[in-house]
Amino acid sequence: MASNSMSSYGSGLWTVKQNKAFERALATYDKDTPDRWHNVARAVGGTTPDEAKRQYDLLVRDIESIENGHVPFPNYTTTGGRSKGRLRDEEKRYC
């Protein structure tokens, strides 16, 4: 697997460039577009309509997992060394 992510989405041999092209193609060719997966695959390059549809199905599954609370929130650390997502007062002003 070429991805560094633990996500299913993007876990194939797709490059970062292909994934970005895939995302742009999804925005361009919606579900009502005739030959959607053919158009998406052509926009991505180096993939088939079936592979483009599979990539989409993986993306949908990942989104559902996130929305259903099956993916934990990351524990980011601010530059000040504080953790658990707490922001200092001066950081809150920019949110």
Tens digit of each residue's pLDDT (9 = 90 or more) over 36-53: 999 999 999 999 999 999
Give the Cα separation of 45 and 51 in Å (integer). Answer: 11
Closest-CA residue to 46 (of 18, 12, 23): 18
Q: Are 57 and 51 in contact (CB under 8 A)?
A: no
Confidence of residue 30 (pLDDT cuts 50, 70, 90): very high
> pTM higher than 0.85, yes or no?
no
Give the Cα separation of 25 and 43 in Å (integer). Answer: 6
